Amino acid sequence: MRTRFESPEQGVALLAVLWLSVALTMIAMTTAYLVRTEASAVADHIDSERAEFLARGAVEAAVYAINRAGAAPLPDAEEPSPLQPFQRGQRWLRFQFQQGASLVEVVPENAKLNVNSAPPDQLAALLVLLGEPEAESRELAAAIADWRSPRRSTVSTPFDIFYAGLPQPYTARHATIEKLEELLAVKGMSRDLFFGRLRQTAAGAWKRTPPLADLVTTERSFGGVNINYAAYEVLRVLPGWDESLAAAVIEARSRPGSGNLLESVPGLSEAASLYPVTLSPGLAYTLTATAQIRDSAVRHTVRAQIRMDRSAPMGFRVVGWREDWPWSAEAPAGIGGEMETIGGSRL
């Protein structure tokens, strides 16, 4: 007795149907995967755009808070301002929006060394602290001094001869450095030194070296270096300062309610008389704002250099701006507390 599967034609048709089913299943699975991938990519792009605008908004919120520091509440305000108040010596501002949160690092420009007036020996000492060999540090400091110094004769300096002999030659400005990025053209300067780098310690951990751009400035300051904000490396190279004093200032700043540093750090008042220092933040700031979208790992960091100016329409001027700044602002543990809400409920 013959069965229906004994026909060759029927067997071929069955195999064709099975292969077609497998192919359709694979196509369906691939399509579903692509749809999920595209949907995730679109969501990440949207979150990235939102984070960018939140970071920009955090910069404006920080500027407003700084401008309002010490001011009395507005008499006509129906309810208190949602912005976190800014106090002298405060380094971190936290803001919370409806769609995410932002952390802003505040650093006055007068907490840095002025690259146009710092002596070469001081610049060399700073470069050594950043991990550069002493000989290379002295040569680079001399190159910076040559770049910023007016030409006194028609005779080319050794650095001028070096720049002229490059495959793409250029000339030193021999004038005041206006933008820190000019330092990238100075003989001996590297991008790793300028922007910072990650180095592995003897214990195996990775540590970020502070960028030179975070320690020097082109902004003219009056009254000295602001020790409320100055980095350890800057404090170490101030005349009359040593490692223990710089570390003591850093430790005192980390304690809540430490008060006036000149009074709370033993020996500081004597050392301060050897070099001009100040506790006033001045009018120029570097603000590094990092925004993160709620329920998302997407983050965006912008860096703005602003100068307070009452004559400007918004009360300040932006003199430098960097999108997608590679280093996110990370506040030490325990700083801040709950973020303030702006335009919505708490996250």
Q: 66, 103, 92: which is closest to 316 by C-alpha? A: 66
User: Is residue 155, in this structure, part of any structural domain at all?
Assistant: yes
Answer whether residue 20 is part of any domain: no
pTM, to two decimals: 0.77
Q: Is the pLDDT of residue 138 over 80?
A: yes
* Confidence band for 336, pLDDT divided at 50, 70 and 90: very low
State which of 197, 214, 231 marks the end of a domain.
214
Quickly state the pLDDT bin for 222 (edges 50, 70, 90).
confident
pLDDT tens track for 250-302: 988 887 766 778 777 877 777 666 678 888 888 899 999 999 888 888 888 99
Quick check: helix, strand or coil at residue 131? coil
Question: In terms of residue numbers, what domain contains 180?
Answer: 113-214
Give the pLDDT mean for 106-110: 93
Residue 64 corresponds to which tokens in the numbers above? 């407003």
Residue 252 lies in a domain: no
Answer yes or no: do 196 and 160 share one domain. Answer: yes
Cβ neighbourhood burial of 308 (10 Å; 0-12, 13-18, 19+): middle
CA dist., res. 248 & res. 305, Å (int) = 29
- 328 pLDDT tier (thresholds 50, 70, 90): low
pLDDT for the residue numbered 281: 83
303 with 329, same domain: the answer is yes
The last residue of one of the domains, among 181, 214, 247, is 214
Considering the domain architecture, whether residues 330 and 314 belong to the same structural domain is answered as yes
Mean pLDDT value of segment 214-219? 94
The CATH number of the domain holding residue 145 is 1.10.40.60
Cβ contact 101:347 at 8 Å: yes
Higher-confidence position of 128 and 199: 128
Residues 63 and 117 in one domain: no
- Give the C-alpha separation, 163 to 160, whole Å: 5
Strand partners, 225: 277
Which tokens belong to 78? 């129906």
Per-residue pLDDT band at 184 (split at 50, 70, 90): very high
**How many CB atoms neighbour CB 8 within 10 A?**
7
Residue 85 included in any domain: yes
Work out the mean pLDDT of the chain and round it to a whole number: 82
Specify whether 137 is located in the same domain as 105.
Answer: no
Tell me: do 286 and 210 sit in the same domain.
no
Q: Could you tell me if residue 262 is inside a domain? A: no
Task: Indicate if the pLDDT at residue 7 is higher than 70.
Answer: no
Q: Which of 175, 186, 176 is nearest to 144 (CA)?
A: 186
Burial class (CB in 10 A: 0-12, 13-18, 19+), 328: middle
State how far the Cα of 213 lies from the Cα of 107, in Å rounded to an integer: 12
pLDDT for residue 339 is more than 50: no
**87 and 119 housed in the same domain:** no
**Is 58 in the same domain as 136?**
no
Q: Which pLDDT does position 220 carry in this prediction?
A: 85
Query: Is residue 105 scored above 50 in pLDDT?
Result: yes
Is 138 inside a domain boundary?
Answer: yes
pLDDT-wise least confident of 97-101, 113-117, 180-184: 97-101
Q: Would 28 be classed as within a structural domain?
A: no
pLDDT grade for 342, boundaries at 50, 70 and 90: very low
Q: What is the mean pLDDT of residues 29-51?
A: 75
Q: Which pair of structure tokens corresponds to residue 112?
A: 């840095």
For residue 251, being part of any structural domain is answered with no
How many domains does one find in the chain? Answer: 2
Alpha-carbon span 293 to 96, nearest angstrom: 10
CB 234 within 8 A of CB 225: yes
Q: How many CB atoms lie within 10 A of CB 325?
A: 18
In this structure, the answer to whether residues 117 and 184 fall within a common structural domain is: yes
Residues 106 and 122 in one domain: no
**What mean pLDDT is predicted for residues 190-209?**
83
